[in-house]
Structure 1
Amino acid sequence: MSFVNKMFNRINLKGYEAFKSSVEKLTGKNEVNVYFTGSKNDTGVSWCPDCVSAEPHVLDAVEKFAKKESIFMYVDVGDRTFWKDMKNPFRTDKDVLIQVIPTLIRWKAHQRLEGPQCENKDLLEMFFTEADD
């Protein structure tokens, strides 16, 4: 499922295959920022308490600081059991290599915020406003 926001392009994805398929199509076209988070239950709450804490900060920073032409991918990494499997593809894919959620990355660049960094307003502003390394 995806939709376009007035300020930036947001794409919501569930699972590794949906993520890889989408990110490969977008590479090189625009700046792509990817937020990895735990899946949500029927009431819209993630099983991951750190993701619950970070989400409002990340979404606020995207609204305030993301470039208008950028793409924001919101990626559901799955349930707790899948995430905790050290062989899950989000952990083993050499282009992703996330070890903690939430994680926010700039695709094909060096910008990365992990865990509690995703709640830090100053770091989030720098993430979205500084140029690629």
Structure 2
Amino acid sequence: MENIEKLSGYNEFRNYADNIKSGNVNFYFTGSKNESGVSWCPDCVEALPHVEEAFEKYQNNCTLISVDVGDRAYWKDMSNPFRLDKDIKLMVIPTLIRWKKPQRLEGDQCAKKDLLQMFFSDEED
């Protein structure tokens, strides 16, 4: 989708996040994709169309950034930086978070249309 920005890896995520000045920014963390554009993470594959649809339908003046967390082996390493980052504390993918706010959906919650509607239509800034 053209209105969803894409980042790959922890350094790209951190550089982007460290430069957010204001606004309603949401991050969608997912497994990296193969040459065909399909993630190694089956839960991420299942959730992605629901996240994209809800973002298109309900988003209210917000930005969505899709972040590839790496391949399966990298993600499974309990000491990888996504898991240790104090701002996101990822334990599961897919995860959808509102930057510096309490809104968060994890795992199969990211495929639930009612939760996605609440997440994206929330007007808190």
Q: TM-score range with shorter-chain normalisation? A: over 0.9
Q: Contact conserved, 1:35 with 1:104, CA < 8 A, in 2?
A: yes
Q: Contact conserved, 1:111 with 1:132, CA < 8 A, in 2?
A: no
Matches within 5 A, 1:54-133: 54-68=47-61, 70-132=62-124
SS at match of 1:44: coil
Gaps of 5+ in 1: none
2:45 maps to a residue whose letter is: V
1-structure distance, mates of 2:59, 2:124: 13
TM-score by length of 1: 0.89
Gaps of 5+ in 2: none
Q: How far does residue 131 in structure 1 lie from its aligned partner after superposition?
A: 3.6
Q: How far does residue 101 in structure 1 lie from its aligned partner after superposition?
A: 0.2
Q: Contact conserved, 1:110 with 1:132, CA < 8 A, in 2?
A: no
2-structure distance, mates of 1:30, 1:115: 25
1-structure distance, mates of 2:60, 2:2: 14
User: In the alignment, which residue of structure 1 is the partner of 2:45?
Assistant: 52
TM-score by length of 2: 0.94
Q: How far does residue 4 in structure 1 lie from its aligned partner after superposition?
A: 5.8
Aligned identity (percent) is 57
1:128 maps to a residue whose letter is: F
Q: Aligned pairs, how many?
A: 125
The runs of at least 4 consecutive aligned structure 1 residues that moved more than 2 Å come to none
Q: Give the counterpart of 1:17 among 11, 15, 18.
A: 11
Cα RMSD over matched residues? 1.5
Query: 1:31 aligned to 2:24?
Result: yes
User: In the alignment, which residue of structure 2 is the partner of 1:41?
Assistant: 34
